[in-house]
Every structure is written in C-alpha cells, then in structure tokens.
Structure 1
Amino acid sequence: MVRELREHRSQHCRRERKCLVSVNQLGMEDHPYDVLVVGARCAGAPLGMLLSQRGYAVEMVDQNAAGTDTVSTHWIRWPGVQQLRAWGLVPALEKTGCPPIASASLDFEGRVVTGGPKAGGTEAVTYAPRRTALDALLVAEAIAKGARLRERFAVTGLIVVDGRVAGVRGAGPDGPVDLHARVVVGADGRNSTVARLVKAPVLEDRGILARSLYGYWRGTAERGVRVVFRGRRGISLWPTNGDLTVVSLVFPPEEAPAPGRTARDAFYMSSLREVPEVGQALASADLVSQPRSAAVRNARRHVHGPGWVLAGDAGHHKDPVSAQGISDAFADAAVLAYALDAGLSGSLGLDEALAGYSATRDAQRLAAFAYTCQQADWLGESH
C-alpha cells in the first residue's frame, strides 16, 4: 500500500444545532471542492499547494489571518529542509530574512560537541524561521498554485451524507456558510476542531512530560545553534528572522513558575542566568518579547474515517523538545497529497488510499514519538 502511494502519479487531473448537519442526498454537482483543508499552516498550506498543482479544487480555511504568529519550536530539521528544497521554496524562505544554520554546539553538563552537520557528505543547512514568515510563505505558494483561502473562518460543524463527512459548516467575515467537499482534512493543530467533531479516537496519550518557555533576543553572540543541558533543564538558542535569536527553556512540569506573567518572566530570566555559558551568550543581548509558554501533550489519534483525514499536529503531536513538528507536518502533506490524488482520481478507493496514508504516517512517526517521550520524560526526572 505504501509503495502504491509513493509510486502513484496523477492520471486523471480534474479540477452541537449539534455541530452535525445531516443531508439525505448530495450529488457530485453539489461538491464545489475536491478537498476542504481546515487549517492553513505547515501541514494544510503545503497540502493545498500540492493538490492544487495536480488540478484539484482546494479550499483552505483558517480561524486566523495568514501569517498570524503561533507557538512554535521554529526549527525545521534536515528532512523538512529537503522537502522545502523539493518544493523549490528554500530561496523564498531565505528572502524572508531567515538565516541558514550551518553550525551547532551541544553542551551536556559541560561536555561540548561542536561542528557542522553533514548529510550525504554535504553541509546539512537547516533553518529556524518565525512562523509569521514561514506560514505566510506557504499560504502564498498554495494560492499561487490555485488553492483558495478563507481567513478568520471558524468551523462550527460538519456536513454528513450517508455516514460520510461531506463538508463543514462555519462562519467568517461574510457570515455563516456551508462548504461542501469530497474530503475534509483537519490540519488545524493539536486542539483540532475537526478531530473533535469526528470524535477521532485517541490511540495513545502520554500526557505532558515537560514544559517550555521561549523569547526573542536581539544582539546575541550566537551565529549557529547552541543547546545546553544542565540538570533537569534544557536551553537552546536558534538564529531566526529579523536578526533575532529564539532562546528556549525546557523544564519539568513540577518546576513550573507560579501563575502570572511576572512570575513566569522572572523564572525564565533566572533560569537562563543560572547557566554561565548561556548568560555569557546573552550578556550584551536584549529580550525583545514577552516569553511565551508551551505545555504539549504527547498524544496521537486515529487519523482517517469516511470522508475525513487528519494531518500534522491534528493527528499526532509531541513535546517540542525534539523539534519534530514542522518537518513532520511537511512529510504529512507530501504523503497525504499522493494518497488523496490516488483516491480522488479513482486509481485507488478513497478509503483504501487514506488507510495507506495512515500506515505510512505511523511508519514514519512511531519511533520518533517514543524517542521524544523518552527525551521529555528524561528532563522530568532527577539525574
């Protein structure tokens, strides 16, 4: 099944009321879109791009405007960079002012390893873009390929026909509307509305194993990546857009600061200053943003059903300590585009194609899920 999806090429280019709307009959002429993508970020926007360039009618909807900031680990790991290269988007990413990262330093309790990562004998340059830049770029590329976008659109329910999801009900700046499609994709993050509405079963839930805070700094001495582990905490520095550096602090849940911004900010600053190497890197730098917090459950859902499928964090989300999220979202978009092309063109049954996507996704993710949980759990233990 996985081989069929990967080798498949498009053969037929073609263009709680209960939160559930039942419709007795809905013919193909009533499906103005082939695919409706809920969420237009790192999974949804590339999927919209890939399907549109294959000739499918794609509508993307998002509750925010394109390029709205969101909590993120920023780092695009090497597999994600390779995917961006395959899509021809690395030059556009660099034009946003996101610097390439060609060197790294890993400091584990004072034992330091430095170097330039290699892949296949060549320099494995990576990136840590602001999501304001990356998401806007991905949406623009999807629109350029023919996808449509509704911004500030909130999904409130599903349209169901004979037991299959056939669209969504929602509202945007122009008021309420029903949108019909052959397939609805939930690419709307770990708190996915689509996942909630279809009652996607949770297959595994490891809970919150670590917490994090991050802020943007100007004037650091770092040009590459620096990651420092001290006791039960991990600190990382990543160069990003606007000559800024993302400085992230990961710590055990029980060490969370008292409620309130003042306590959170003080905890963040004191934790960084406690590590001399980090304090030195930030000595002449200024914090230019309020620290943001993240506490992510390590969980995965069943990702497909009649007329619906989940992508990115909507189906599988894990602690940001391993910085897998963006690269995983890109991989989901690529695999799901092949699966939907196969199912919508008729070369495979749609349900069969989505099952193949699910199997491929599990094969790509389960080892990384276990590793991330282990790494996050390690930070939560005494050493």
Structure 2
Amino acid sequence: MADFPSAVEQADTVVVGARCAGSATAATLARAGRRVVVLDSARFPSDTLSTHLLWPAGVAELSRLGALEAVEELGAPRLTRAYAAAAGYAVASEFPQVDGIDYTLCVRRTGLDHALVRTARAAGAEIREKCRVTDLVWDGGRCTGVRYTDPGGRLVEIRAALVVGADGRRSTVAKLAGALTPYESTPSGRDCYFAYWRDPSGDRRDIAAQWRAGADLGTAFPCDDGLLLSLVQPPAEAGPRRPGDAEQRYAAALDRIPALRERLRDCEKVGRVRSATDIASYFRRSSGPGWALPGDSGHFKDPVTAQGIRDALHYGRLLAEAAAPVLDDPVRLDRAVTAWERRRVRECREIYHWTNRLARGTAMSPLEIELYRTATGDRALAAITTGIFSRTRRPAELYTPARTARLTAGALWHHRDDPRPVLADIAHELRRAAAEFRTSRTTLRGAPPAAPSSSPGTATA
C-alpha cells in the first residue's frame, strides 16, 4: 500500500459504517443538502451479529427515516402482542403506540441493513462498499478526514468537517480517536446464543414472547421468511470457548426452559447457533473536535432489552439534525456534537441501569416474582413494563415508592414462613439503587471526561 493517498477528496461529512447508525446519519444529512460519503468494509446485502428486535419506538424510527416501507416488504410479521412468563405467572399485554405505530418487528439484519443502505443512497448519500478505513486525518487536535483503502487497494483520503464513526463495538474510528476504552462499563452476567427456526405456527406469529426459568432467559420472536428467532441468555460461563460449545449451551438452555422448548416443538432449526459472549454494556467518549460516535461505537447495552437498533437509528438521526446546520462553523459544530453526546447520556443512563439489572444472570428475586404475580391481574402494571422496553415509560415509573411498598408487602406475605430471602433482596436492591444513583450523578452526569484528540500512528494534515 502506498504511503501517500492516490486521491484527496472533499465532503461535508464522512460516515464510517453504513448499517443502522450510519445510514440514519447519512440519510438525514443528505436530505439536509449536505455531501455525505459513507464507507463500509462490507458489500451489501450483508449479515452481522445481532438479535434485531425493534420495539415500536424502533419501528417509528424506520418510519421517520423513510425506510419502513422497504423493511416491511421483507415480510416480517407485525408482532402486536407481548407475552412474558416466569415463576408460574404469565403476563400478556399490547404494545404502546409511538407515532401511531403499535407493533414490533423482528427483521434479519441482511435485509434490514440493505434496506437502510438503499434509503441512505436514495436520500443522496454516496455509499462506497468494500472500503476499509486505516487512519484519521488530523490538523492539530482536530479530526479533518479519513484515509481508506478502496476495493482495488488504492489509498484514498477524504477531507470533511465531521467524521462519524458508526462502525460498531470494535470501532476503528473510536480506536483512532483514542476513545475505545469506555469511561463507564458493566460486564454482563449472561452469554447470548440464538438460532433461527422454520416456524409453521400460524396463530402465534403475532406474539413476541419471553420466558424466564431459574437463571435462564429465552425468547421467541417471529421474523421474516417464515422464520422465528429464538434467543437464550444463560448465566455467563468463564473460560476458553471450544468447538461445539454454542450448540451445546444453546440446547442445554432450551432444556431448562420447557415452555420455550414447547414453543419450538413443531419448528425446524435452520442454520447454526450464533453466540455473543464476554458482553459488557458501556459508554465511551463519543465526541471530539471533528468526530462523533453514534450507535454501538459510542454506547452499547446488553441485548437482553433489545435497545441497540432503536438507539442507533434515533441518535444517528439526532446527530445529523444537530450537525447539518453548523457543519461550516467548527466552533458551533463542536458545541452541537457535544450537546448531542450529553443528551444521549442523559436519556440512556436509566435504561442502561435497567438493562444491567436484567443482565445479572441470576435467578429471579422475590421482588421480581412478586412483580410478575401482580402484573397478571394489573393491566396498568403490565403496560408500564412493556412501555419501558418501548421507551415510552421510564423504569422509575415502575418502582414508585407506593408500588415498591405494595410489592414488598406482597413478597413478605408469600414468604411469611421465612421472610429472610425477601429482606435480603430488599437490602440488595437498596445497595444497587444507591450505586446506580452515584453512577448517574458522577460518571453519567452528562459530561463525559475528555478523550485524547488523536492516537499514535494517525495521519496528520
């Protein structure tokens, strides 16, 4: 590879990564009249590791982006009912409306991402596939572009007012900007394994279902092409991975969740089991002079609450809306991008804590069981829980002082012969709540610590 680029181009924005966050950013900027070049190492259609459930808020983002029609043409059924079962209790509810959308979609990433790429291209963004970014270009402490290798192996440089790293958890842009190490991180207590099943059931293909049994969690989400996505999240297992581990752990978890195994009884597994292990939720520094990190490159939550696609689309769009009017003014651009990052931290920290609670990988506590027990006869409580996943309600609305007192009283009544597990659970929850409060008011106060502007080995102007 040559040491110097064979071409130097100019754009308003370079977006690295063309999937959810990248396409949302690019389409929005292009519609605002900005020249956007999007670089991706893949050639679309292309798959990626993902559990790809979109709650109504995520579907609404597809609609705002202008991609919903293309996504729905892929044939995924509208999931209009939510079902959750645990400890002998089952809770059924409908989904809340977000911009008139009251259903969930589970769409495989090959089709979903291709639809998003086509949407960004139709909006006016230039999509360059099979291109791999190798360096950021710096002018003093400011990022002013990227260098990448094209499909023919040529080194090309693009100068831009803003470089957007929408390139996932192993983000090249985050690494080159010195922001790869999170300033807040919580390891998951669960591993994740999932597979697709040919689903002949006609009467259950409108239900998004979840089961908890012991420390295990499993789901069944009907998706496109007549398939069903079934995911299990058993407690995380330490140690090296061996060939066949994913298949074995997946099958073992299904056997520990009899209701999920029954849901799959007439289904036929298609393809291999896929896995995500050593998972950690995090916040990274996501903005600096001339650069920003929407999507998983800057913030990631455990897949147990299925928030990633919605947040990638939502904050990619908001980044573009904030940046588009001020791309020609570096001072105003930096202020806008910093404000965008702080907004994401403020808006996501509560669901971050909620996700980490569900990702503990432990058996259900007495208070959790009491929540399920109460929700079976309390439609309002079930609606709040579904609304939290859909981002129309806040976790704080579930555990109000009055409701917490009622749940505690109920748990103590059902453990009246031996209240010690309930008392231990209460003490544990109080400690956890205090720790979350401290984290929100310090590390996640909305103003992340500054990151270095560049790292050794990056290109300079």
Q: Place the TM-score, normalised by the shorter chain, in its bin.
A: 0.7 to 0.9
Letter in 2 for 1:132: T
2:230 is the counterpart of 1:250: no
- CA deviations 1:315-365 (Å, max 9, x no partner) are 001210010000000111121011111321549711111111111111221
Q: For residue 344 of structure 1, what is the aligned residue in structure 2?
A: 327
How many Å separate the matches in 2 of 1:356 and 1:306?
A: 13
How many Å separate the matches in 2 of 1:88 and 1:124?
A: 18
Q: For residue 457 of structure 2, what is the aligned residue in structure 1?
A: none
Q: 2:94 aligns with which of 111, 116, 119?
A: 116
Q: For residue 6 of structure 1, what is the aligned residue in structure 2?
A: none
Structure 2 residue runs without a partner (length 5+): 366-461
User: How far did residue 79 of structure 1 move?
Assistant: 1.4
CA contact 1:40–1:66 (8 Å) conserved in 2? no
Q: For residue 27 of structure 1, what is the aligned residue in structure 2?
A: none
Q: 340-349 or 295-304, which moves further after superposition?
A: 340-349
2:186 is the counterpart of 1:206: yes
Q: For residue 5 of structure 1, what is the aligned residue in structure 2?
A: none
Q: For residue 300 of structure 1, what is the aligned residue in structure 2?
A: 283
Paired residues for 1:33-44 under 5 Å: 33-44=11-22
From the CA coordinates, give the structure whose radius of gyration is larger: 2
Percent identity, aligned pairs only? 33
Report which of the two has the higher share of strand. Answer: 1
Q: 1:331 aligns with which of 314, 317, 340?
A: 314
Provide closer, same or farther for how the CA distance between residues 121 and 188 of structure 1 changes in structure 2, counting only shifts above 3 A. Answer: closer
User: How far did residue 179 of structure 1 move?
Assistant: 1.8
Q: 75-84 or 185-194, which moves further after superposition?
A: 75-84
Letter in 1 for 2:345: D
CA contact 1:166–1:182 (8 Å) conserved in 2? yes
User: How far did residue 47 of structure 1 move?
Assistant: 0.8
Task: Tell me how large the CA RMSD over aligned residues is.
Answer: 2.3
Structure 1 residue runs without a partner (length 5+): 1-16, 24-29
Letter in 2 for 1:68: S
2:63 is the counterpart of 1:85: yes
How many Å separate the matches in 2 of 1:120 and 1:358?
A: 23
2:199 is the counterpart of 1:219: yes
Paired residues for 1:185-196 under 5 Å: 185-196=164-175
Q: 57-66 or 204-213, which moves further after superposition?
A: 204-213
Report which of the two has the higher share of helix. Answer: 2
Provide closer, same or farther for how the CA distance between residues 153 and 347 of structure 1 changes in structure 2, counting only shifts above 3 A. Answer: closer
Provide closer, same or farther for how the CA distance between residues 180 and 120 of structure 1 changes in structure 2, counting only shifts above 3 A. Answer: closer
CA contact 2:145–2:157 (8 Å) conserved in 1? yes
Letter in 2 for 1:177: V
Q: 1:275 aligns with which of 257, 262, 271?
A: 257
How many Å separate the matches in 2 of 1:112 and 1:353?
A: 46
Q: For residue 301 of structure 2, what is the aligned residue in structure 1?
A: 318
Paired residues for 1:1-383 under 5 Å: 32-119=10-97, 124-175=102-153, 176-200=155-179, 202-219=182-199, 221=201, 222-223=204-205, 224-254=207-237, 259-295=241-277, 296-346=279-329, 349-377=332-360, 379-380=361-362
Provide closer, same or farther for how the CA distance between residues 31 and 364 of structure 1 changes in structure 2, counting only shifts above 3 A. Answer: farther
Letter in 1 for 2:352: F
Q: 267-276 or 358-367, which moves further after superposition?
A: 267-276
User: How far did residue 369 of structure 1 move?
Assistant: 0.9
Provide closer, same or farther for how the CA distance between residues 43 and 294 of structure 1 changes in structure 2, counting only shifts above 3 A. Answer: same
User: How far did residue 258 of structure 1 move?
Assistant: 7.1
Q: 56-65 or 109-118, which moves further after superposition?
A: 109-118
How many Å separate the matches in 2 of 1:31 and 1:65?
A: 22
Letter in 2 for 1:233: D
Q: Aligned pair count?
A: 356
CA contact 1:220–1:245 (8 Å) conserved in 2? no
- CA deviations 1:192-236 (Å, max 9, x no partner) are 010000101522011233211000000253311110000111000
Letter in 2 for 1:196: K
Letter in 2 for 1:32: Q
Provide closer, same or farther for how the CA distance between residues 382 and 100 of structure 1 changes in structure 2, counting only shifts above 3 A. Answer: closer
User: How far did residue 36 of structure 1 move?
Assistant: 0.3
Q: For residue 11 of structure 1, what is the aligned residue in structure 2?
A: none
How many Å separate the matches in 2 of 1:225 and 1:33?
A: 43
User: How far did residue 121 of structure 1 move?
Assistant: 11
TM-score, length basis structure 2: 0.73
